[in-house]
Structure 1
Amino acid sequence: MKYTTKNLMRGLFTALISGIMVKAQVGAEPLKIAYSDWPGWIAWEIGIQKGWFKEAGVDVEFAWMDYVESMDAYVAGKVDAVTMTNGDALVTGGTGKPSVAIIINDYSNGNDMIVGAPGIDSLKDLKGKKIGLEEGFVEHLLLLKGLEKLGMSPDDVTIVNTPTNETPQVLQAKAVDAIGAWQPNSGQALKALPGSKPIFSSADVPGIIYDVLAVSPESLDTRKADWAKVVTVWYKISDFIRDEENLDETLEILSGRVGVKPEEYEHFLKGTYILSLEEALERWEDKEGLGSIYGSTRIANEFNLKFEVYDKSQDAAKYLDPSLTKAFAASQKSE
């Protein structure tokens, strides 16, 4: 065979998938992934239900958990990987167990929001007011970025530390003037108090929150070929979701996982920007600012240090590995 560039690229990725270029894999245990209630992570259900992992030749076991519980399971070594935000990956690493993101599933595009009580129409209206949110979590960072855009100081508001799943009740009780939460909690808050409204959201600062598949370095090192297959399945899922002809089936599968009506779930899906392969490659470029997961993760690290989420700065680059996505993209171009 004549070894053209295309043949070489295809051959390299095939070798990666088959394990020729990686260390010997350990046993035949399924890869264990903890995932939770977020559209970009529930999206894995499409691959599960359609049997795409089996078609790709990889055995994967998905464990459905609450978000914090899923991170705890990862730190405890009960799973090989977990779906997390890029900022929370730093937290689990800085306080317990590092991970490596191999897939950028999406970025939040409105599902994370600051919800104001009736009469609160903008962040400016919150000066001197109380905001219920979970300190040190992504909604706290979202609020600070919103205040920064308006030239306001964090001291202009009072944070009431509130578990995210309790924010709807706190807003309904009028114990605070606004809350910070992600879906489905933000949506529940809007329903709980008539007249409440979103006054700032992740759609106003795209890239402030990236959602990823974070893998343990040990599992990635010993089973890279299997994780490469998971990457191929993810982009099959991404293509499926982004095709409008598949919208009804997508909504049926995703809404079924959380027990809501498909028409109700469509709003959640719109608030999550599922990245195409080409868009993911752009976000994988190491740049400053929110248009890069590297820049976004560095901003999250600064936030975590400022609020003493952990006491030692984390190197964003050590938490990010675009190699499998880039290898897959190269193989696609060669076909």
Structure 2
Amino acid sequence: MKKAVKFALSSFLVLSLALAGCGKSEGGSTTEQPKPEQGQAPEAVSLEIGMLKLTSSAPLFIGIEKGFFQEEGIDAKAKWFDAAQPIAVATAAGSVDVGATGITASLYNMVAGGQKLVIVADKGREQAGYSSSALLYPSDSPLKSIEELKGKKLGITQTGSTYHYMAGKLLEKHGLTLKDIELVPLNSIKGLMEALKSKQVDAVLLNEPNISTVVEEGYGKVIAQVGDEMEYQTSGIFFSPKFADNKDAAERFLKAYAKSTRYYYDAVLNKVDGKIVPGENYDEVVNIIAKYTDQEPDMIKKGLPYMDRDGKLLESDIKTQVEWYAKEKLIDKEIDPSEIVNTQLLEDAVQKLGK
């Protein structure tokens, strides 16, 4: 009996040592656990994107409609807003995971006040050779230059808006300041167009497709395209702090977003011999935008805003904006742009996406 017990114990010991040996490599280190197979679907993430029904949201519409987000395991749903500022507030609060809207003084003031969000990608910018925003005078105005605005009335949407910033920077480039003119906030694009038509102001800043509408109807003329005067990051894609911390999901979102910006760019912004030539998917992209913005395709074709093909943010301009808003006392205090900008997430996503 004792021999049998000893034999059993010896056999158990040998077996245990053999099993332990299977768990070691030749160098004595523990072998790694098997990794998920390549091609395995990523962990699904549901999120809401706060946005406006604007053409500049086109890549987001494309990403949803074409299934680019779904391919990356991102169940992206649009949450519609009626104004820009509430989107930034909702993103900082985590009420939405992603925000898409203009970069304004109020956004910088939120950050200066301690609220957190991260600007990660382009959603529209002023760029030379593309019509996005412009300075217009009444068609019969004797004024022909920006310099002649001295002592005149210039209509913008709101104080601290992107229009306010464009007005200030345009004037400074041409030797004037905001103190040299009367700035007239008119609260809406419709208000700007009506004020120009009735000549309540001497000039207005407008965006497309409204620029084309005014020119076609004959009551306004373009004096300067903003993009030809300066590069300017007008709007961006923001992440809530919580979503930005989820690096895997954030990168997957941006991989799909970059795929969408490329699809948009190649369809509507590609140039041949200096002229924009509609790409293969031009009509499809226009119809997708029409579906999500409730606009007619012909109207959309008048104003397709510029954005970087890979969705890359004009990072240096954020610093320029912060300094200008602080100088004009439109933000409570100057902030460090590095606290609110993260371009690394998109760079990593684009690298994984490839050419």
Pair in the same fold by TM > 0.5: yes
Return the letter of the residue paired with 1:235. A
Q: CA deviation at 1:159?
A: 0.7
Residue pair 1:107, 1:206 contacting (<8 A) in 2 also: no
Q: CA deviation at 1:81?
A: 2.1
Per the alignment, in what secondary structure is the counterpart of residue 31 of structure 1? strand
Per the alignment, in what secondary structure is the counterpart of residue 302 of structure 2? helix
Match of 2:303 in 1: 268
Name which of 230, 235, 259 aligns with 2:253: 230
Return the letter of the residue paired with 2:317. S
**Greater per-residue helix proportion:** 1
Per the alignment, in what secondary structure is the counterpart of residue 71 of structure 1? helix
Higher relative contact order (CA 8 A, sep 6+): 1
Name which of 297, 320, 325 aligns with 2:346: 325
- Cα-to-partner distance string for 1:33-83 (whole Å, 9 max, x where unaligned): 111143331331111112222221112221122332433433554212211
List aligned pairs for 1:294-313, cutoff 5 A: 294-313=315-334
Return the letter of the residue paired with 2:192. T
Residue pair 2:252, 2:349 contacting (<8 A) in 1 also: no
CA distance in 2, matches of 1:161, 1:75: 27
Q: CA deviation at 1:311?
A: 1.1
CA distance in 2, matches of 1:76, 1:182: 30
Asked which structure has the greater CA Rg, the reply is: 2
Of all paired residues, the percent bearing the same amino acid is 23
> CA 1:263 to 1:96, structure 2 compared with 1: closer, same or farther past 3 Å?
farther
List aligned pairs for 1:273-284, cutoff 5 A: 273-277=306-310, 280=312
> CA 1:18 to 1:55, structure 2 compared with 1: closer, same or farther past 3 Å?
closer
Name which of 189, 201, 218 aligns with 1:194: 218
Per the alignment, in what secondary structure is the counterpart of residue 318 of structure 2? helix
Return the letter of the residue paired with 1:156. D
Return the letter of the residue paired with 2:352. S
CA distance in 1, matches of 2:134, 2:193: 12
> CA 1:330 to 1:137, structure 2 compared with 1: closer, same or farther past 3 Å?
same
Q: CA deviation at 1:95?
A: 4.8
- Name which of structure 1's ranges 105-114 and 45-54 shifts more when overlaid on structure 2: 105-114
Residue pair 1:171, 1:178 contacting (<8 A) in 2 also: yes
Per the alignment, in what secondary structure is the counterpart of residue 184 of structure 2? strand
The root-mean-square deviation of aligned C-alpha atoms, in Å, is: 2.9
Residue pair 2:137, 2:223 contacting (<8 A) in 1 also: yes
Match of 2:192 in 1: 167
> CA 1:67 to 1:190, structure 2 compared with 1: closer, same or farther past 3 Å?
farther
CA distance in 1, matches of 2:287, 2:42: 34
Where in structure 1 are there 5+ consecutive unaligned residues? 1-10, 20-27, 284-292
Q: CA deviation at 1:263?
A: 2.8
Match of 1:158 in 2: 182
Q: CA deviation at 1:135?
A: 2.0
Q: Tell me the TM-score normalised to structure 2 length.
A: 0.74
Return the letter of the residue paired with 2:87. S
